[in-house]
Amino acid sequence: MNIVVVTEYFPSGDCLDIKGGVEVCCYNEAMELSKYHEVTVLTSKESEIDEFDIHDVHVVCCGDNRSYVQKGSFTSRLKFMKDALNMHEMLGDIDLVIGYNFITYPVAYKLAKKLGAKVALRYHDVWIGEWTKNMGITGLFGEVLERYILRQNIDLYVAVSDFTRNNLNKYVPEDKTITIHNIVDFPNVTSDKYLSPTVSCVARLVEYKRVNDLIRAVGLIKEEIPNIKCQIVGTGPEEERLKSLTGQLNLEDNIEFLGFVEDHDDVMRVVKSSHVFCLPSIVEGFGIVIIEAQSLETPFVAARIPPVVESSGEMGGLFFEPKNYQELASQILKLLKDKELYEKLQVEGLENKDNYTKEVIGGKLNKAYSNLF
């Protein structure tokens, strides 16, 4: 087949300069699908380069040159959508168009109609009724787009979790949906654990990731473990507020903000070196970083939300009530103090990771898309 993938952002090379989970998902799946089919990616223009190739995937950049944003940037996003849609004249015969996030879903749908192709949407979250709570006033744009796309005749919605699929089935027929989990590109990194007990967190610094809960938890943990360390990887609009909270709680010597770490292996070395990985987020489509932590033998503590429970297999870590930073602190302390529990969870995590290899997930995707014809 000739496949077109539409994604707002895409890495520019093997260094995987990836900003979020959707980009990880899209990159890995495009690479796997290219083993079976011809794959072209339409994405945002982040430099002066208009087109490039990564292995067997051809990447075409659309819209104005712009940097990564997680919300807002309304005008430049519309320009990207318009330019990506206008690419139909240069694409030739296309069999399938796949959209990867809410900005690209309507583009993929309309592009497929112009090309006479099938359309599939890789669905991470259903946010109907939740957009403004998760994103503020700019979420109104997402609310309109999502309600629009769920009313269209989409050939297949490919959910990243059963949780997401169940939410989709409230709005679209069940025979139009399927669950295929994310590929996890397991990091091959080595690193010793830090000398001081350390918690790591990898997240976009936006409100719903609840990194503020982790910071408050570190404040409580410090009362029992004065040399506790916390390393936070990521950037976002909440960064200054989180740094201010760190200062208010006198945690400057305990918490380190590492910012955006370009090389994914370097991110994974932080997780590997830490004693506990924390994901306090209350909104996730899948929770891929939890499985990465499992593969690195770093037990996790995460908010008990259905997608993360599903992806982890309830193995390799502990959960806490979302937004309850006192319980978060208690669970981290439990892991740091109980060596037998810690080692048990390390073994469990390694057992779970085999469900998410490239070969397993790539084969499922190829079968699902081939079955549309």
Residue ranges of the domains in the chain?
2-182+357-370, 198-355
Quick one: what percent of the chain has pLDDT higher than 90? 70
Q: Is the pLDDT of residue 119 over 60?
A: yes
The domain defined by 2-182+357-370 folds into Rossmann fold (3.40.50)
Q: Which two tokens stand for residue 313?
A: 């297999």
Phi and psi torsions of 301, nearest 5°:
-130, 125
Lowest mean pLDDT among 63-77, 151-165, 166-180, 293-307: 63-77
Select from 3.90.1170.50, 3.40.50.2000, 3.40.50.10360, 1.10.260.40 the CATH code of 198-355.
3.40.50.2000
Query: DSSP string spanning 187-246?
Result: -----PPPSS-EEEEE---SGGG-HHHHHHHHHHHTTT-TT-EEEEE---TTHHHHHHHH
pTM of the model: 0.74
Cα separation, 71 vs 77, in Å, equals 10
pLDDT of 74 reads 72
Q: Is the pLDDT of residue 238 over 90?
A: yes
The pLDDT confidence band at residue 16, using thresholds 50, 70 and 90, is low
Mean pLDDT of 346-367: 91
User: 49 and 62 in contact (C-beta within 8 Å)?
Assistant: no
The helix (H) or strand (E) run that includes residue 268 is helix 264-273
The domains spanning 2-182+357-370 and 198-355 adopt the same CATH topology: yes
Q: Which residues pair with 2 in a beta bridge?
A: 38
pLDDT of 362 reads 94
Tell me how far CA of residue 312 lies from CA of 31, 293, 319, 334, 349, in angstroms. 24, 10, 11, 19, 8
pLDDT of 82 reads 92
The pLDDT confidence band at residue 15, using thresholds 50, 70 and 90, is low
Mean pLDDT of 123-129: 91
Cα separation, 120 vs 63, in Å, equals 23
Mean pLDDT of 275-285: 93
* b/e per residue 268-288 (b: at least 16 CB within 10 A): bbbbbbbbbbbbbbbbbbbbb
